[in-house]
Every structure is written in C-alpha cells, then in structure tokens.
Structure 1
Amino acid sequence: MSTSNTSNTAKTVKIPGPDHPLTIERNPSRVVVKVAGHTVADTRDALTLREAHYPRVLYIPRKDVDMTLLERSGHSTYCPYKGDAAYFSIPSGGERAVNAIWSYESPYPAVEPIRDRLAFYTDRVDSIEEHA
C-alpha cells in the first residue's frame, strides 16, 4: 500500500497507468481473518487489489466483518492513487493489532470498487486464510 502522512495540505492525485499499474479483481476464494481466537472477517466477496510492486491486498466488505470487534482509530494516511485511508484497531489483539485495518471510505474513481471495504495488515492479525 502506498501511503504517506495526511498532513500535506495540497494532495496530489495520480491516475494508475503503465508506470504504476493498479488492478482490482474479484477473489474467488473464501477469505477468513482471525485475531485472538475471534473470526473478525469471513467472506466469499473479497476483492484483490494489485498495485505496482506492492504485495496484493484483499479488501473485504464491511457486511462480512464483525465490526463490533473493531475500534476506529484517529490514524489516517494518504495514497495519491486511492485517496485518504481511515484506520481501525482490534482491541482483543492487543498492541500488535493497533491500526491493523484500513479502509478507503471515499476512494478516487479509479479504485471505486474498494469503497467502504476493509483491508488487514497481515502482520497485525493472526491469520488471513483463503479457502477454495
């Protein structure tokens, strides 16, 4: 995920292209995210976002996430290709799960399909499993 601090006053907006490819595709697998013995997300409706040289990211619809396990944090970042990201922590996961999740609630048009979906840092949750 390309991010920078949101303290910039003038935000640059960039369009994905040959120099910075970005694709979003439906993920055919069932995706299950677990933290501290809890299933935080379970979906068959995940999207896979591939951006330039970054690792792929799975975006899960909020309807398939147990939002009662999450706490919105004050943290935010900015990506010139996607927009402003809001963050959530998973209190049951302890210190490691602080700001474990990000979401583009008003993404730029090029990535509109990820609107209001949640993405999880792989190193801040116990597991992100993909099942056939």
Structure 2
Amino acid sequence: MADHIRIRRAEGVWTVRSGGAVLAESSNALELSEDGYPAIIYFPRGDIGMAFLERTDKVTTCPHKGQANYYSIMNRSATIENGAWTYENPTEAVAEIKDHVAFYATDEVTVERI
C-alpha cells in the first residue's frame, strides 16, 4: 500500500442518510485515510440501498487507487449528481475497497457513526 494511505475497519455502525432516507448502514465499513485529506468511509455494496444510486458517466483516475466510477444519489426530494463513488478495480495497494462505495458528506448527505 502507498505509504500515505491507510485502510482499517471503521469502528462501530456507520450510516448514510439523504432526503429523509437511510441509504446505507453498516458495521463492516472501512475507513481510508490519505495524508492531506479527510478520512473517507467506504460502505460494502451489500449494506447499501443501491436503488438510491444511479451510475453516471463521470470517471476519474487516482494514481494510488485507480479509476473511480460515480453515482448520483436519487432521493425523494433531490438528485445529488456524482454524490458517491467506487473503485471497481482498485490498485493492488488498496484492494480492500473493491465492492465498496463512498459518499460525499454535504448538506444533503450525512455520513456518520451511530
């Protein structure tokens, strides 16, 4: 793994909420810490209501994690464009985040430990 990236089990139960709905809840989330950035919680796909997510065409590349694909979050009151992302084929250094999705925490999306 890159020296500046650390992945560990996120302690406790984590949730994602948007538009009054619970999009994800997991006791199996991962916390990815990368020097210079806030820690990000990655949720296993099996713990996410994937019906709330719609794949977009957005793709970005990180030299340390690989190619990220994005989802818009669809809730009853809004669509949050590209509000979540995943590394479907991450680099070997961060292989643990495969089959996980992360969410941007905003005024419309909360990611928190409960």
Q: Which has the higher helix share?
A: 1
Letter in 2 for 1:118: V
For residue 6 of structure 1, what is the aligned residue in structure 2?
A: none
Matches within 5 A, 1:81-96: 81-92=64-75, 94-95=78-79
Q: Which runs of 5+ in 1 are unaligned?
A: 1-14
Q: TM-score, normalised by structure 2?
A: 0.93
**Structure (1 or 2) with the greater strand fraction:** 2
CA distance in 2, matches of 1:63, 1:45: 10
SS of 2:102's equivalent in the other structure is strand
Match of 1:60 in 2: 43
1:97-116 to 2 correspondence within 5 Å? 97-116=80-99
Question: Separation in 1 of the partners of 2:52 and 2:101?
Answer: 13
Residues matched between the structures, number: 113
Aligned-residue CA RMSD in angstroms? 1.4
**Residue 111 (structure 2) aligns with:** 128
Q: Which blocks of at least 5 consecutive residues in structure 2 are unaligned?
A: none
Deviation at 1:69, TM superposition (A): 1.0
| Percentage of matched positions with identical amino acids | 36
How far is the alpha carbon of 1:67 from its aligned partner? 0.3
Is 2:19 the partner of 1:36?
yes
TM-score relative to the length of structure 1: 0.81
Q: Which amino acid aligns with 2:47?
A: D
Deviation at 1:91, TM superposition (A): 2.1
Name the stretch that deviates more: 67-76 or 118-127: 118-127
Q: Quick check: which has more Rg, 1 or 2?
A: 1
